[in-house]
Amino acid sequence: MSSSPVLNAREPSGPIEKRWEDYKFHTKLVNPANKRKYDILVVGSGLAGAAAAATLGELGYNVRCFCYQDSPRRAHSIAAQGGINAAKNYQNDGDSIHRLFYDTVKGGDFRARESNVHRLAEISVNIIDQAVAQGVPFGREYGGLLDNRSFGGTQVSRTFYARGQTGQQLLIGAYQALEKMVHAGNVKMHPRTEMLDLVVIDGVARGIVTRDLVSGKIETHLGHAVVLATGGYSNVFFLSTNAMGCNTTAIWRAYKRGAFFANPCYTQIHPTCIPVKGDYQSKLTLMSESLRNIGRVWSPARTGDKRAALQIPEAERDYFLERKYPSFGNLVPRDVASRNAKHAFDDGRGAEGMEAVYLDFRDAIARDGKPAIEAKYGNLFQMYEKITAEDPYSVPMKIYPAPHYTMGGLWVDYSLMSTIPGLFVAGEANFSDHGANRLGASALMQGLADGYFVLPQTIGGYLASGGLNKVSTDHPQAQQTQRDVEAQLEKLLGKRGGETIDSFHRRLGRIMWNQCGMARNREGLLGAIEDIRALRERYWATVSVTGSQGSLNQVLERAGRVADFLELGELMCRDALTREESCGGHFREEHQTAGGEAQRDDERFCHVAAWQYQGDEATPNRHIEPLSFESVKLVQRSYE
Amino acid sequence: MNLTLHVWRQADRRSGGAFATYEARDISEHMSFLEMLDVVNEGLEARGEAPIAFDHDCREGICGACSLQINGVPHGPDKGTTTCQLHMRSFRDGDTLVIEPFRAKPFPVLRDLVVDRGAFDRIIEAGGYISVRTGQAQDANSTPVNKQDADEAFSYAACIGCGACVAACKNASASLFTAAKISHLGLLPQGQPERHQRVLSMVAQMDLEGFGSCTNQYECEAACPKEISVSAIARMNRDFVVASLRGR
Amino acid sequence: MATATAGTGAGVFGALLQRTIGLKLLMAVTGLIWVGFVAQHMVANLQVFMPMPADGVHPLNRYAAALQSLGGLLWVARIFLLVVFVAHVYAAIRLTQLNRAARPVDYRVRTTQVSTFSSSYMRVSGFALLFFVLYHLAHFTFGAVDQAAYARTLPGGMHDVYGMVIVGFRNPIAAGTYIVANVFLALHLHHAVSSIFQTLGLRTPRYAPLIDKLGPAVGLAVGAGNIAMPLAILLGLVGQGVS
């Protein structure tokens, strides 16, 4: 467990405000006329992928972009509701780049790399300019200028929003920029195409192997750099707020080809989701954090109180966030809110005895009037009513924590390059900016920062450094990779064991949720590792995979993804087990303060843990990147 | 509840298709429509049969992947609702449901209920954007936008590109989809420089893809899960006339 | 990809007609001209309800004579209306071809939610009106149906249009044809008039509720006015003096 020389973040030195500027100045450039000679493969078309592909195309590179969806516009960034942060200080409420930087480092419980976070805060302001110029219809005030709202973990209003559909609007903006480049011929789009492996030639990432999800055709695409912008892995929990298709396959296969996987156990459990009903449920629906601007979270004060919300008098309601955290109130970070909700229903104070607490808008409606609430949050209220058949204007919402985002991901250096040269990782797929907990409205910011502003600079620097010779699909390593993919598909299609893929996915999800969810402990994690291994063995023995390779086969798609989740789950538990402290979303029951808050151990764990694959059944190697805090003081996080 | 489903099955783009009948048993009214199909599919999978292929992803009504013509209506009977947000409480025990793919020449069936909506991407590609190089933009607050215009632009920008408008239209017209984008961008000051070229290019592409003409029956508006107003189409027509007369 | 080209008026027109929206615009503009003509035609013909003046020359005959005296201009108007009519039919046929091609495989079930009856049967009502116009021209303009009635003149040599109409509509088959045709006309206008506003881009949210009522209103008014004439004559309420 010693510091490893391979984990060099290659951060620029000097004052933190100058690092990104310095980096850009010292980076080699590619001559405009030479850009078209470089092929860049971008996997994923969400905010990070679409923004990167569009911008790299604009610069003149030859870009190919891949997504499993039928159109790049459907990537799951589209579902982000509440907003995007930027240090514009349009509200004149004391915001600044430094404050956004500080809030993000603190919100992440001091487990993120300072230089990256500062760069993110700097770029945040450009993102808003870019989006507005593209025609993103952000919410505005009557004077015609942009409006803001507040999100958790901050005391300023810096969140820009487009009703409850901010992610959709930002993604459509990036998608439109991408389509413009498709029209210009600089980007070739490959929808309904899934990356199944990474081609590494002589230690350098040179391409990917894909499956055409309509024809089943397996193909090798080669290029000079590969970008993975394939999102997070919350679907390891089976039930999450992610889209059904979200998966870990691209980053997992890259991990198995040598990219280190950083902090896999850092997962975010979002406090405000619609509670689960029945075992048939296929996914969880989020209610935007922005609702905590106006809603008050409470639970019955008395254990065992199963009365309906409206029958519980004011005096018998416990507004536990306001009580415990008077200065942040309902706007504490997500990990804190989720954990406190869990305490309430573990203690028998759940809403109507369920695993849920209330989010109540009564006071906001009385104060601002229903029309005002409807104008800002109407679509969220409507969505809640559609799903639950309850009217949240008159009855408080029931909310429940649910897996939502994964801060962990492939390890990247300051240039967003993984431990495999030429393999860049952006957005939720990398581990970079959020530490152990992401603040609300920061995912959109990071995805777009990586895609629009960081990668186009850093990839240029990588390409300009030269040394990339020409490779063809005849290369033995390319051919071997394609054969490996074909062999795995063949193996899966031979399975006729009678158990469905979803039944395995559900079982894995239950193990992960119970042992590696909101609270973790050594015994549970050790048990989970055993259980996952047994489940994985059983999967390969008794799963059924119907249909054929050469056609549209959604069963086969899921089979490969679940196989990867069955491996990833184990790594997450292993990471959670070795990180013997609590920080952000990673809560080890053995390590908590007297008040039940996460207790960090900066002596032993002020570092990034990055795992190196050693073989399917072998224990991976754990490397560390020490984190140093020069611009912010390392303190116990407090929102009281 | 128990239901009888008549579902369109088709092996691939080139093969012919036919309806097959399935029984959906013990369906809870709290299930979403797609979860009901999941149950049917898990049964098929367990028996070694090919499950019914259908497009879906976010299952929260925003990605636009899900489709399905349910008893003759895109996304089923509930107003302003995608199929993934449609719940079984909208149906009754013993109901018979006919489930078909969205049908239009530019939306070829790829398998069962999955269709190719790439035509929509190509319409956007033709001009559904505002050209701005990354990093070129001025400060976001340097151009105030009248709130009414911004709100109206948003109402058109809410389009999820699901294709229900095409599916609902007697003529398989893509007018509402195309007009929503033209109106979203045309209402904003940022969208003005390319406004005329945009409408000409996008309308040309819409026709080239083989969509039919607008009927002015407004079935699209009724079927749209985001309830986008056909006022967008009037706006597109107006812009089209002006742009055509100006010759650019 | 093709875009409209700048240049001459003919170039603009040709470019417009390459697009479905251009064809719809042609349909709307030609339709609007015909709505105007039909409304004017009805109002003029309602003179049939006026009493016979002392001099024995019915206002309808004076009006007809005034029209005839226009001479060449009348023919210009007739040819214009004919061209407009043909263009309307052309647009309808061309759009129908394109629309049929847009959905080669139909649904087993298609349930409409908001379509009006009139909008669903525009093609049927349109075809009915096409045949009716031919019949109507043969009947009253060219006198091919009842030559004796068409040949009626007044003592001064003036063409007796009033008498021709009265005699013509005493025939139940002719009157019935007109009544049925005008039901189709009312239906056609019910959808058409509001639709014209939408196609021309004038149906803005603020005026949409009003515009949506305009079509039914115009359809009803024109239909009722036109049906009133044959009906009244058939029932013997008008023109008792004509023999």
Q: What is the pLDDT of residues A200-248, one digit of tens each?
A: 999 999 999 999 999 999 999 999 999 999 999 999 999 999 999 999 9
Which chain B residues are closer than 8 Å to A180 by Cβ? 125, 129, 131
Give the C-alpha distances (Å, rounded to integers) separating A174 from A133, A322, A449, B126, C222.
11, 38, 12, 15, 53
What is the arithmetic mean of pLDDT over C28-37? Answer: 98
Look at B234 and C3 and tell me if their CB atoms are within 8 Å: no
For A30-63, what is each residue's pLDDT tens digit?
999 999 999 999 999 999 999 999 999 999 999 9
- The secondary structure element, H or E, covering residue A366 is helix A362-368
Domain spanning A16-266+407-464: which superfamily?
Answer: FAD/NAD(P)-binding domain (3.50.50.60)
Residue range(s) in chain B whose domain bears CATH number 1.10.1060.10: 117-246
Spatial separation of the C-alpha atoms in residues B31 and B29, rounded to whole Å:
5
pLDDT for the residue A525 = 98
CATH code for the domain defined by B3-111? 3.10.20.30
Q: What is the pLDDT of residue C4?
A: 39
Residue C5: per-residue pLDDT: 41
DSSP-derived 3-state class of residue A38: coil
* Res C15 pLDDT > 50: yes
Q: Which of A23, B106, A52, A100 shows the shortest CA–CA distance to C101?
A: B106
> Could you say which DSSP state residue A174 is in?
H
d(CA C91, CA B61): 38
**Residues in Cβ contact with A146 at an 8 Å cutoff, skipping those fewer than 6 apart:** A88, A90, A128, A132, A138, A139, A140, A160, B140, B141
Q: Which residues of B touch A499 (CB under 8 A)?
A: 46
Band (A5; pLDDT cuts 50, 70, 90): low
Q: Which residues of A are catalytic?
A: 334
d(C-alpha A448, C-alpha A461), whole Å: 19
Q: What is the pLDDT of residue A383?
A: 86
Residue of B42, B62, B161 with shortest CB distance to A502: B42
| Chain A: residue whose CA lies nearest to B109 | A214
Q: Which fold has domain B117-246?
A: Fumarate Reductase Iron-sulfur Protein; Chain B, domain 2 (1.10.1060)
Separation between Cα atoms, residue A633 and residue A106, nearest integer Å: 9
Contact B33/B86 with Cβ under 8 angstroms?
yes
Tell me what the pLDDT averaged over chain A comes to. Answer: 95
Nearest chain B residue to A242 by CA: give it. Answer: B58
Report the DSSP beta bridge partners of residue A261: A410, A611
Q: Report the residue from A90, A382, A544 with minimal CB separation from B48.
A: A544
The residue that leads in pLDDT, C183 or A389, is: C183
Sequential DSSP letters for B137-191: ---GGGS---HHHHHHHHHHHT-----HHHHHSTT-B-HHHHHHHHHHHHTSGGG
Does residue A638 register a pLDDT over 90?
no
pLDDT band, residue C9 (cuts 50/70/90): low
Q: Phi and psi dihedrals of C33, rounded to 5?
A: -60, -45
Of the listed ranges A91-100, A143-152, A182-191, the one predicted with least confidence: A143-152
- Fold (CATH) for A476-607: Methane Monooxygenase Hydroxylase; Chain G, domain 1 (1.20.58)
In this model, does residue A365 exceed pLDDT 50?
Answer: yes
Chain B residues touching A277 at Cβ < 8 A: 30
What pLDDT is stored for residue C147 in this prediction?
87
Q: What is the pLDDT of residue A616?
A: 92
Partners of A359 in the beta sheet?
A297, A397
Residue A6 has a pLDDT of: 62
The B residues from 164 to 183 touching C (CB cutoff 8 Å) are: 168, 170-173
Range picked from A188-192, A597-601, C157-161 for highest mean pLDDT: A188-192
How many whole angstroms separate alpha carbon B184 and alpha carbon B159?
10
State both tokens at A393.
């204007």
> Which residues 184-243 of B have a C-beta within 8 angstroms of C?
197, 200-201, 203-208, 210-219, 221-223, 229-231, 233-241, 243
Positions of chain B with pLDDT lower than 70, given as ranges: 248
Contacts of B191 in chain A (CB under 8 A): 135
**And the tokens for C24?**
């719809």
Phi, psi of A221 (to 5 degrees): -110, 125
Domain edges within chain A: 16-266+407-464, 271-403, 476-607
| Class level of CATH domain A271-403 | alpha beta
Per-residue pLDDT tens digits for B21-38: 999 999 999 999 999 999
Give the ipTM: 0.98
What's the Rg (C-alpha) of chain C? 21
The tokens for B176 are 């509402």
Q: Is the pLDDT of residue C100 over 70?
A: yes
Residues of chain B with CATH 3.10.20.30: 3-111
Q: What is the mean pLDDT of residues A5-9?
A: 79
Give backbone dihedrals phi and psi of A261, rounded to 5 degrees, phi first.
Answer: -105, 120
The H or E element that residue A410 is part of is strand A409-410
Does residue B90 sit at the A interface (CB-CB below 8 Å)?
A: no
3-state secondary structure A89-129: CCCCCCCCHHHHHHHHHHHCCCCCCHHHHHHHHHHHHHHHH
Å between B247 CA and nearest CA of chain C: 4
How does pLDDT run across A554-575, given as a tens digit for each residue?
999 999 999 999 999 999 999 9
pTM above 0.90, yes or no: yes
- Cα A18 from Cα A32, distance rounded (Å): 26
What are the φ and ψ backbone dihedral angles of A208, each rounded to 5 degrees?
A: -140, 155
Residues of chain B positioned with their CB less than 8 A from the CB of A128: 140
For residue A466, pLDDT over 90 is answered with: no
In this structure, the number of other CB atoms found within 10 A of the CB of residue B131 comes to 15
**CB B153 to CB A135 under 8 A?**
yes
Q: Any bridge partners for residue A212, and if so which?
A: A193
Is B83 within 8 Å of B67 (Cβ atoms)? yes
- Which structure tokens are listed for C179? 């009544």
Alpha carbon of B9: minimum distance to chain A alpha carbons (Å): 13
Q: Which residue of B has its CA nearest to C117?
A: B217
Range of weakest confidence among A152-166, A431-445, A537-551: A152-166
Q: Name every residue whose Cβ is closer than 8 Å to that of residue B231 and which is 6 or more positions away in sequence.
A: B183, C203, C204, C205, C208
Q: Which band of pLDDT confidence, cut at 50, 70 and 90, is reported for residue A440?
A: very high
